[in-house]
Structure 1
Amino acid sequence: MNASDPRVLFLSAVLSLAPAARPALAAPETVEVRASRDVKRQLEQVDKQLQNADENIRFVETQFTQRPEPSDEEAKLRRFSDGEIQYLLGDWTAASVLFYDLVSDPRFRAHALYPDALFYLSDSLLEQQNYIGARLYLRELLSLPPTDRYKDALSRYLNVASRLNQFDGIDDYIAQARKLSGGQLPPELAYVYAKWLFRRADLKNEERIARAREAFEPLMRSNIRLVRLQSAYHLGVLSVQAGDLKDAIERFRELASLPVNVPEEVRIRELTNLSLGRLLYETGNLDEALDRYQQIPGESESFVDSLYEVSWTYVKKGDFSRAKNAIDILLLVDPESSLAPDAKLLQGHLLLKLQQYEEATTTYQGVIDTYGPVRNKLDELLSRTIDPVAYFDNLLSRNERTLDLSVLLPPVALRYAQTQEQVAGAVALVNDLESGRKGVGEARALATRILQALEERGLETFPELQEGYTRADAVESGLTRVEQVLVAVESSAVLEHLTSEERKKLEAVREEREALARRFALLPTTQREVEERRQRMQARVDELDREAFRLGYELQSLRAVATAVRKWVEDTRAERNTPPEEEVAFLGQLQAEADTLEGLQSELEHTRLKLADERNAVATSVGGEELIRQQFYEVLQREHLLVASFAGRLPDDVAALMTRLQQVRERTDALRTRVTTAKGQLRAQLERRGRVIRDKVQAEQALLGQYDTEVAAVSGQARNLVGRIAFDSFRRVRQQFYDLVLKGDVGMVDVAFTRKQDKTVEIQKLSAQKDKELRELERDFKEVLKDVE
């Protein structure tokens, strides 16, 4: 293998993560021995290098090979500590992976940290909105003997249960929490429990209200101010739900009179004033209702709602001018509000009442022009099929197997669809299924990558072992350089005592040795050389990754252009006279281009993934020149054996030098044996650790197969339900837009009719006035007319 081959350069980059304990053996200058002074100097240098090698291999032995491997207990504690660090840093994905590895080990169930691991895992999943997974591990934690985590776990479990509408076993958990607290729940947990009762949908309304009141009432005496305010608000809402508006008004009045400090308390007051205004409106206290609405500040989330309700309050009072002013402010403050369509209709109605007919006509026509095309598009969307399953499949096929409302619906309709709980639930279900399917695929790909890394990269997958192995490699390279010096010295010493034939044989071996020495000299022997090589390799990988990122940006831009072109074709279909066959051909070509872009994107992602692997490999190891070192050492041994064959007829001084060199070589061989032993032990550790990981990954692969089957089964069961929900919900959204346009049309008719009525009344008034004036004229000129007669 050529030393300039990229594979050799890449393998040599692997040494970067393994800093030597001290500088590796320096390459001594190989000069021919001309005098005993030079030989003595070189042997002194060799002696120092051997001492250095002894220290380095001792470091490898004490820190890597002779040090006992962490016990199973120590490994679990380290994994727990790493997971806890990731949890505290907010890296929920990494934390959940680490803690899942712990809790999935049956041997860890008896560990004292098992409850804490369950809590961290469930909370990490909860932060990722994986409510089903969080519920699973929270239930496991709550089934264990109570610990300090019990109350926090129960609070989170109540939150998850209310989101998933799964209420079984809650009362037993609450009873257990009361026992732990001496019969009384802590205020924070008691409030969560009361709010959970407030939201329960599995109870009859009367029972739900009674149980929620029973839970909230004691919290009115809590020593936590925010809990008292929140409980008071919920009690007022419960009175409204029970139909006791008088009690609700009194509760909200009392709550609104309390001072507020923190933003959470301010928000409660805003909701209280909004609720109080609505109740006062319903009971006919219009002036006080206006006062309550006007206490909601402009920066509040409820400000737009309050403006809309203020306008209706003025309508009920008959003050159309002020009602119109409130609507004008609403449309100015938030023209994209979901209330905007109804506000525009109300604006047209008020303009009609104020006899501003031109403005009213413009307003109604604006509603028709804005929402008529949306209604037509929804008609087209829903009229394609009456089969909800086919409809659902159509939605998915149009959007890469995910239900994205922003693509399926016009922007105006999107705001309405997002307010539909059924659509939100259907979208969440589809997204969860898609997320599960995608997660299984990613996990399977990750498992394949891990097994491939263990098979192909070996020590690179374990940086600690790689560091020890690289240090041992450095020592072996140094010992080979010592052998190079010894061979050079003894070869030069015997050269003048050889026959012509023997000298030719020795020269041939020396030429081969010198040729390999040039390749061997490329091996890094100091930390500086290792770092420089690592930086060169990483710079090359980074340059390729930057180019891949640029190409990814270009692909993303091209995909956006393709999407925009498709949308333009759909939006302008009614305005163009393009023959259908031409449009079909164009869209087919556009789809082919989009498919090509998808393929390129997938290939680019795969390339960037490989680049990331290569960069990680560069960061963990720079080496792989064992073959070069071994070949060089074999040539040195051949030259040494050839020189040793001449030892029987050498002069005494040369024989003494050879004896001394042999003593040095024995020290070198002893160190080399220690290096070989250390590297063998590191390879054995690699095999053991790799086997453990391989077994775990293969076990997870078997589980992934089960998960894939389960996801496919659940997807098949859910498709009909989700399709029907989406179909019915979108149909309701379409009905809302139909009603908007209908009201706009009715408004236009009302304007025309009212104007006609006004003209009719005016004509009737003028006619009556004319008749009156004629009668007066007849009366005034009656005598004159008599005379004429």
Structure 2
Amino acid sequence: MNVSLRALALVLSLAGGTSASAAEPPPALTQQELERNLLSVEQQLRTAEEALRFVETQYSQRPEPDEAQVRARRYSDAEIHYLLGDWNAASVLFYDLVSDPAFHGHPRYPDALFFLADTLYQQKNDLGARIYLRELLALPAPSARHRDALTRYLAICGKLNLFDGIAPQLDQARSLYGGQLPPDIQYVNAKWLFRRTDLPPAERMARARAAFAPLAQVPGGPYQLQAGYHMAVLSMQAGELPLAILQFQQLLVPVPRQDAPPATTDKPAVRTMADTDPARIHELSLMSLGRLLYEAGRFDEALDKYGQVPRESESFPESLYEIAWTQVRKGNHQEAKNAVDILLMVSPDSRLAPEARLLQGHLLQKLQKYNDAIAAYDELISTFRPVREKVDAMLGANRDPVAYFDRLLARTDTVPDVRTLLPPLALKYASTERDVGDAVKMVGDIDTGKKGTVDARELAARILLALQTRRLETFPELQEGFMRADAVETAVANAEAALVELERHALESSLTATEREKLLPLRHERETLAARFATLPTTQKELEERLRRMQARVDAVDREAFRLGAEVRGLHAIAAAVRKWVDDTRLMRQTPPEEEREFLVQLQTEVQTLQELQQELDKTRGRLADERNSAAASLAGEQAIRGRYLAALRAEHAVLSEAEQRQSPSSLLTRAHQARDQGLALSKRVSEAQGALLARVDQRGRRIREKVLAEQKLLDKYEAEVAAVSSNAKQLVGRIAYDSFRRVRRQFYDLVLKADVGVVDVAFTEKQDKTTAIQKVSAQKADALRALDADFRGVLAEDGR
């Protein structure tokens, strides 16, 4: 009969009476009941021994993996995260490997460098990816990743316009591949030459042509279309229009495609510009050929090429616009208007729509549809004039617009985005949107780097503090083993309590009055402690359930802290919006300067309070995270309760031992002593297992502490570098934002001005047409009068006679 030790102990303790002061002896148990209870204790001890054996084999006596095994497992984990697309986790693990000098001689070190670079590239960190790719390419022995790394490295250099150190890498590749670059690397090399801005135009075009020519001359080659397109563009840039027309015409002839060269490894390959869609190249060739034919005066042929652009193409609105101008050059105003009408119908939100609307008004004027022309111009004016006036007000409300944008960006609690300051319509047609986006991304990266160093320093401090004060909970695996051993110790204590109860019933008749008097307070103390001891978990299931309850309480508080943090961030946004409103409406309000300054001082005070609240919430959430992790440690820290309970049991056992010495030995008590010895042996093994686990905690803690201290030294260097460029970058983005606003305002001003001029021109043309018509009627009247005069001249002459 498998009876719970804790239940048995409580039942037996209550069986002795409900009050410690009761003088009546407890009900005696039969010999059969005592035998059954002892069997249950022996079974529970066997179960506890099995649990302890699991702790010893899986935790305390299991050999610690050496450094090589740790690195191999870390590489495996990193590769799994990489294949799953978890770039952030993969980059952290690969960086840990790459930064370890002992790993540099590992056979997988080149792969780790490549994967680290690729994870950074996938996270848009081109500069970081370039660093590790260059390190990979600089290895003495080329790896299987060399081709992919060189292809990616050249692509990043072309994107960033950073060409230093490219030539040696290409020379190395030529030496590796028998003096001839493989097609994929040759294509990226040609693209790099095509984009270079550090060479004179003539030299750049000559070198790019020489690089593209071999690829374009391979019939059906994987890069034939791409290379041919770039060759035609180079001819157009060189002013060789007939040759460019011929080259673009050749691209429109369907060619058979062959498969790309097989990959050199079974790992994920790098995607290059060779993956460009042939259909897109066909569309771009049609557009380019149409423009060249237009410049050559071959309008019908240009119209034919523009008409072949598919409706689903992103170039379709542009082709319609250029068809309209081609028809204008031919004098076909109605056909031109039809093309513009289709453009405004299929793509009303196109960036070409404003210019198309202007052209539509011009064509309606040519077709003498004056009311429709004025309606088209009026629609353009009503759309863009309010936005232009709003931008004017924003720029005119501040005497120093650059400083205004600097302050505005500095007040944002997230990554600043100048584009959000533009009205939606202005943003849609802003030609500088990309410049502003790139500049803001740069400042965002700097701010992210600055925040990253601060977070890393705080994390390092928390790790060092945890290693010093929380030891066991820092390593969940070891903590679990310690908790399992602790549960075994609790089970042994329950067995000890059951054995004491069993001995008390077996020796009840042999106790003297003095011994009974000694047992009463001891039993009262033990029963008092038993109520608290009964709450300690004795199985893994009870451990997990109690841990879940404690962590749920911490999570509830953390959710409330998160909610308060969202409210604080909302108040931050409101404060920023209020300050922006004050700046934007300064010219429209009649607020005295002193009152405005007082209001801004109060607003800044509130902002400072919000910042302090946010900092306090961040610290609170950090402490909650620590407490959540330390909830399990609190379970393993209840040895004091168990120790006092065991001391009370042993004191009671000592009194019972005196009575046992006065009677002859019994098999029941002999077995009870054997069970107690077994429990003591288990307690000793538990102590040894927990000591071994704590020793491992110290060993791992030393290794982690050394790494954290080394990273802290690197953080000092990073913080200095970030601080050196941060202030200049902020000022740069403020100026770019101002220039962007000014150019957008100019663009809208030109649109509205042209529309206004169009309205005046329509009115003047209509007046001219009516004046011409009146003059024509007057001339016709004069002619008619002269004809009548000639016809009746003879009659008038006779009348005069």
Fold conserved between structures, TM > 0.5: yes
Note closer, same or farther for the CA distance 1:91–1:687 as it changes in structure 2 (3 Å cut): same
Q: Is 1:322 aligned with 2:318?
A: no
Q: Which letter maps to 2:759?
A: M
Q: Which letter maps to 2:229?
A: Y
2:363 is matched with 350
Note closer, same or farther for the CA distance 1:426–1:24 as it changes in structure 2 (3 Å cut): farther
1:375·1:734 contact (CA, 8 Å) conserved in 2?
A: yes
Corresponding residue to 2:41 among 42, 46, 65:
46
2:472·2:633 contact (CA, 8 Å) conserved in 1?
A: no
Query: Where in structure 2 are the equivalents of 1:512-551 lying within 5 Å?
Result: 512-537=525-550, 539-540=552-553
Q: Which letter maps to 1:270?
A: E
- Aligned-pair CA distance for 1:737: 2.0
Corresponding residue to 1:299 among 298, 303, 312:
312
- Aligned-pair CA distance for 1:279: 1.1
2:745 is matched with 734
Matches of 1:601 and 1:352, distance apart in 2: 62
1:769 is matched with 780
Q: Is 1:487 aligned with 2:487?
A: no
2:697 is matched with 686
Q: Which moved more, 1:672-681 or 1:437-446?
A: 437-446
1:331 is matched with 344
2:151·2:188 contact (CA, 8 Å) conserved in 1?
A: yes
Query: Where in structure 2 are the equivalents of 1:611-650 lying within 5 Å?
Result: 623-646=636-659, 648=661, 650=662
- Aligned-pair CA distance for 1:328: 1.9
Q: Deviations over 1:211-252 (max 9, x none)?
A: 111111111244764411111111111111111111111111
- Aligned-pair CA distance for 1:783: 4.1
Q: Is 1:250 aligned with 2:263?
A: no
- Aligned-pair CA distance for 1:597: 7.1
Q: Which letter maps to 1:252?
A: F
Q: Deviations over 1:8-34 (max 9, x none)?
A: xxxxxxxxxxxxxxx998536132663
1:379 is matched with 392
Q: Is 1:279 aligned with 2:258?
A: no
2:427·2:433 contact (CA, 8 Å) conserved in 1?
A: no
Q: Is 1:651 aligned with 2:651?
A: no
Corresponding residue to 1:56 among 46, 51, 60:
51
Matches of 1:580 and 1:764, distance apart in 2: 63
Q: Is 1:463 aligned with 2:476?
A: yes
1:197·1:211 contact (CA, 8 Å) conserved in 2?
A: yes
2:6 is matched with 27
2:161 is matched with 165
Q: State the secondary structure of the residue aligned to 1:310.
A: helix
1:9 is matched with none
1:290·1:310 contact (CA, 8 Å) conserved in 2?
A: yes
1:364·1:744 contact (CA, 8 Å) conserved in 2?
A: yes
Q: Which letter maps to 1:519?
A: R
1:201 is matched with 197
Q: Which letter maps to 1:373?
A: P
Q: Which letter maps to 2:454?
A: G
- Aligned-pair CA distance for 1:659: 5.4
Q: Which letter maps to 2:726?
A: S
2:23 is matched with none
Q: Which letter maps to 2:33?
A: D
Note closer, same or farther for the CA distance 1:25–1:493 as it changes in structure 2 (3 Å cut): closer
Note closer, same or farther for the CA distance 1:597–1:773 as it changes in structure 2 (3 Å cut): farther
Q: Which letter maps to 1:771?
A: A
Matches of 1:249 and 1:525, distance apart in 2: 86
1:695 is matched with 706
2:410 is matched with 397
2:101 is matched with 106
- Aligned-pair CA distance for 1:718: 3.4
Matches of 1:456 and 1:445, distance apart in 2: 16
Identity %: 55
Matches of 1:297 and 1:600, distance apart in 2: 58
Note closer, same or farther for the CA distance 1:694–1:244 as it changes in structure 2 (3 Å cut): same
- Aligned-pair CA distance for 1:451: 3.3
RMSD: 3.4
Aligned residues: 764
1:151·1:189 contact (CA, 8 Å) conserved in 2?
A: yes
Q: Which letter maps to 1:206?
A: A
- Aligned-pair CA distance for 1:177: 1.4
Q: Which moved more, 1:50-59 or 1:526-535?
A: 526-535
Corresponding residue to 2:459 among 437, 446, 449:
446
- Aligned-pair CA distance for 1:181: 2.0
Matches of 1:560 and 1:437, distance apart in 2: 21
- Aligned-pair CA distance for 1:741: 2.0
Note closer, same or farther for the CA distance 1:26–1:290 as it changes in structure 2 (3 Å cut): farther
Matches of 1:24 and 1:741, distance apart in 2: 92
1:127 is matched with 122
Matches of 2:712 and 2:119, distance apart in 1: 23
Q: State the secondary structure of the residue aligned to 1:406.
A: helix
Q: Deviations over 1:619-659 (max 9, x none)?
A: 999654323222212222222233335555x22247x7655
Note closer, same or farther for the CA distance 1:780–1:332 as it changes in structure 2 (3 Å cut): same
Q: Deviations over 1:501-546 (max 9, x none)?
A: 4322211111111121122122222344334434444555565566
Q: Deviations over 1:293-340 (max 9, x none)?
A: 111112111111111111111111111112122222222222222222
2:5·2:41 contact (CA, 8 Å) conserved in 1?
A: no
Note closer, same or farther for the CA distance 1:570–1:273 as it changes in structure 2 (3 Å cut): farther
- Aligned-pair CA distance for 1:412: 2.1
- Aligned-pair CA distance for 1:128: 0.5
1:25·1:475 contact (CA, 8 Å) conserved in 2?
A: no
Query: Where in structure 2 are the equivalents of 1:701-740 lying within 5 Å?
Result: 701-740=712-751
- Aligned-pair CA distance for 1:611: 5.6
1:747 is matched with 758
1:463·1:620 contact (CA, 8 Å) conserved in 2?
A: no
Corresponding residue to 1:782 among 777, 783, 793:
793
1:422·1:726 contact (CA, 8 Å) conserved in 2?
A: no
Q: Is 1:426 aligned with 2:422?
A: no
- Aligned-pair CA distance for 1:277: 1.1
Q: Which letter maps to 2:313?
A: S
1:389·1:719 contact (CA, 8 Å) conserved in 2?
A: no
Q: Is 1:677 aligned with 2:688?
A: yes
Note closer, same or farther for the CA distance 1:709–1:743 as it changes in structure 2 (3 Å cut): same
Matches of 2:47 and 2:701, distance apart in 1: 32
Matches of 1:628 and 1:280, distance apart in 2: 94
Matches of 1:746 and 1:340, distance apart in 2: 18
Q: State the secondary structure of the residue aligned to 2:162.
A: coil
Q: State the secondary structure of the residue aligned to 2:6.
A: coil
2:5·2:495 contact (CA, 8 Å) conserved in 1?
A: no
User: TM-score, normalising length from structure 1?
Assistant: 0.88
1:153 is matched with 149
Matches of 1:376 and 1:50, distance apart in 2: 87
Q: Which letter maps to 1:753?
A: F
2:3·2:40 contact (CA, 8 Å) conserved in 1?
A: no
1:667 is matched with 678
- Aligned-pair CA distance for 1:591: 8.0
1:81 is matched with 76
Matches of 1:678 and 1:338, distance apart in 2: 73
Matches of 1:667 and 1:447, distance apart in 2: 46
Note closer, same or farther for the CA distance 1:516–1:49 as it changes in structure 2 (3 Å cut): same
Query: Where in structure 2 are the equivalents of 1:86-97 lying within 5 Å?
Result: 86-97=81-92
Q: Which letter maps to 2:287?
A: L
Corresponding residue to 1:233 among 219, 223, 229:
229
Unaligned runs of 5+ in 1: 1-22
- Aligned-pair CA distance for 1:133: 0.8
Note closer, same or farther for the CA distance 1:449–1:288 as it changes in structure 2 (3 Å cut): farther
Q: Which letter maps to 1:524?
A: P
- Aligned-pair CA distance for 1:586: 8.4
Q: Deviations over 1:692-739 (max 9, x none)?
A: 222222322232232122111112343454444444444333322222
1:307·1:330 contact (CA, 8 Å) conserved in 2?
A: yes
Q: Which moved more, 1:669-678 or 1:395-404?
A: 395-404
